[in-house]
Amino acid sequence: MPTDSHTAPATSPTSATNATLAAMQAIVGAGACLSGDADTESYVTDYRRIYRGKAQVVVMPSTTEQVSQVMAWCHAHDVPVVPQGGNTSLMGGAVPDDSGTAVLLSLGRMNRVLAVDTINDTMTVQAGVTLNAARTAAEQEQRLFALRIGSEGSCQIGGNLATNAGGTAVLRYGNMRDLVLGIEAVLPDGRIYSSLRGLRKDNTGYDLKQLFVGSEGTLGIITAAVLKLMPQPRANAVAFVAVQSPEAAVRLLGVAKQHGGQAVTAFELISAPALELVLEYLGDVTSPLPARHDWMVLIELTSGGSDESLNATLMEILEAGLAQELVLDAAVAASLADAQRFWRIREEISDAQTRTGGSIKCDVSVPLSRIAAFIGDASAKVLALEPAARMVIYGHMGDGNVHFNPLRPKDRSAADFLGQWYAPISEAVDTLAHAENGSISAEHGIGVAKRDDLKRYKSPVELELMWQVKRALDPKNLLNPAKMLPRLD
């Protein structure tokens, strides 16, 4: 039977820690190891400050060879290892538990762009390159690396792969799984797997690299990757649009695809409470639209053509939307500054919630044909439980993925609201999504936050297969233990 915990080492914590520290220092050098509560604090605490663990040592290797040696030593000494990229997980996936037995392996020093191949349209990077640095390196060669998420300044490519990150351009370019052509990963026993070849076709057996994508660091530590590059779009057109309802938003998406085809890059839903929260939080921004509307969408088109022709396509979409009574009002970005202002509103929703506190983060997807019904049903369920909850609903409507995040009423504390409603509301929302053939975690992963819930939503066959894969690669259950896989009793 798989276990999700570890027996404490037989020696006292101090002597075990000293031995681990000495071993890690011998591999990476003393300057690349941290120990003690004060120095490790920022690594063992997640960025929303919900999960706080402990680590024997934080080790920061700078080469794949060093990662391999760290893993081999930890494997030989039964020491659990928690890999960490930019520590931006929303699910507690990148911090250790509080037993203090784990080594935390931070990839941040492996931050080199190794090669950009403008003929193959690929880029080879170490895992600790931030998403922002990867996008900038591509831009310098007039290419696009297409992953786009709000935390791009901190999150790292290794973590983006390990969590199969999604974001606001999935509609056009796919998620991280679609953007990778090769992976190098260190296995729990220190062996190195590599497929850093940049091939678009390779049918020579199982596609092993994809096993590591979305594995949340439970099967191997991703140390490098070959990423797909796209042509850099020359034109973009952005509109902030008030729509009648979520159903009208879905129909408008259909209209946009009909007129814009491939150019439809982002289609993001924003509810009135989400907009109000972010305007209040930012202080220096106003709504692009003069009146209050219950539902809005942010539409972005991009293309290799001209701004004029793309704007004409956007206008066609909006006019068709008005004619079909889907659109109530629209603000079209007249400049790059306008477009950035519209996007800032969308991208700050997450931080506005974190700062406000008391948000129940459900990240669900359902088939597009069911998303409007899902939003209606789930909202009715939540409001029947807590009529004053602020319905912060937003996200990647174009992918059938909404962040459905009821927020505490203004006059209730976060602790009070979450204490009463976290479990019942997340369960109600997840149950409805599951009943619509949906997913209870569309893009944020499982980590610790949703681990035990998986038992309710995955079939016994799926759970058993997941554990079989885990045991095949990590028979000692040392790599990111107690994350993602629920214990099977």
Binding region for ligand MLT (CB under 6 A)? 90, 150, 349-350, 395, 403
Minimum CB distance to ligand MLT smaller for 110 or for 345: 345
Q: Name the H helices within 96-231.
A: 131-140, 157-162, 170-173, 209-212
Q: Specify the residue, 237 or 397, whose C-beta has the smaller distance to ligand MLT.
A: 397
Which pair of structure tokens corresponds to residue 109?
Answer: 């020093």
Q: Are strands 103-106 and 57-59 parallel, antiparallel or unpaired?
A: parallel
Q: Which residues contact 131 (CB under 8 A, 6 or more apart)?
A: 147, 149, 151, 152, 153, 155, 156, 157, 160
In angstroms, rounded to a whole number, what is the distance separating the alpha carbons of residues 161 and 27? 26
CB contact set of 423 (below 8 Å; sequence gap of 6+): none
Min CB(24)–ligand MLT separation in Å = 33
Cβ distance to ligand MLT smaller for residue 150 or 190: 150
Tokens of 164: 């199969």
DSSP-derived 3-state class of residue 354: helix
Min separation Cβ 26 and ligand MLT, Å = 39
Report the nearest approach of ligand MLT to the CB of residue 411 (Å): 24
Q: Minimum CB separation from ligand MLT for residue 173, in Å?
A: 15
One-letter amino acid for residue 163 of the chain: T
Q: Which is nearer to ligand MLT, 47 or 467 (CB)?
A: 47
Minimum distance from CB of 292 to ligand MLT (Å)?
22
Identify which of residues 113 and 378 has a Cβ nearer to ligand MLT in the complex. Answer: 378
Q: How far is the CB of 488 from ligand MLT (least distance, A)?
A: 29
Q: How many CB atoms lie within 10 A of CB 114?
A: 13
Give the nearer residue to ligand MLT in terms of CB position, either 197 or 355: 355
Complex with ligand MLT: residue 244 or 359, whichever CB lies closer = 359
Q: Which residue's beta carbon is nearest to the bound ligand MLT?
A: 350
Give the tokens for residue 181. 């052509």
Q: How far apart are CB 221 and ligand MLT at their closest, in Å?
A: 24
In the bound complex, what is the minimum distance in angstroms from residue 90's beta carbon to ligand MLT? 6
> Which CB, 4 or 453, lies closer to ligand MLT?
453
The Cα-based distances of 463 to 321, 371, 454 in angstroms read 44, 26, 8
Is the CA virtual torsion 215, 216, 222, 226 positive or negative?
positive
Residue bearing tokens 């991208």: 347
How near is the Cβ of 350 to ligand MLT at its closest, in Å? 3
As a whole number of angstroms, the distance between CA 254 and CA 32 comes to 52
User: In the numeric block, which tokens belong to residue 183?
Assistant: 């992976």
- In terms of CB distance, is 104 or 162 closer to ligand MLT? 162
Distances 132 to 147, 178, 250, 260 between C-alpha atoms, Å: 10, 18, 31, 28
Give the list of residues 6+ apart from residue 380 with CB closer than 8 angstroms, or none. none
Q: How far apart are CA 82 and CA 50, in angstroms?
A: 17
Report the b/e string of 124-143 with b at 16+ CB within 10 A.
bbbbbbbbebbbebbeeeeb
- In which element (H, E) is residue 343 found? helix 336-347
- CA gap 127, 221 in Å, rounded: 9
Q: Give the nearest distance from C-beta 395 to ligand MLT in angstroms.
A: 5
Give the CA angle between residues 407, 409, 410 to the nearest 5°: 115
Q: Parallel, antiparallel, or unpaired for β 401-407 and 295-303?
A: unpaired
Q: In this complex, which beta carbon is closest to ligand MLT, that of residue 396 or of residue 451?
A: 396
Which is nearer to ligand MLT, 212 or 394 (by Cβ)?
394
Looking at beta carbons only, is 266 or 372 nearer to ligand MLT?
266
